[in-house]
Amino acid sequence: MAYSEEDKKEIVDTICESIEQGKSLRDAANGLIPRNTFYQWIDSDQTKANQYVRACEERADLVFEEILSIADDQEDDIGYDSDGNAITNHNVIQRARLRVDSRKWMLGKMNPKKYGDKIQNDITIREQPLFGDE
36 burial via Cβ count (<10 Å: 0-12, 13-18, 19+): exposed
User: Residues of the chain with pLDDT > 90: what percent?
Assistant: 79
pLDDT(119) > 80: no
Q: What is the pLDDT of residues 7-64, one digit of tens each?
A: 999 999 999 999 999 999 999 999 899 999 999 999 999 999 999 999 999 999 999 9
Q: CB of 124 within 8 A of CB of 99?
A: no
pTM of the model: 0.76
pLDDT(130) > 80: no
pLDDT at 37: 95
The DSSP output letter for 87 is E
Please provide the distance, in angstroms rounded to a whole number, between the alpha carbons at the two ends of the chain. Answer: 74
Q: CB of 14 within 8 A of CB of 32?
A: yes
5-113 belongs to CATH 1.10.10.60: yes
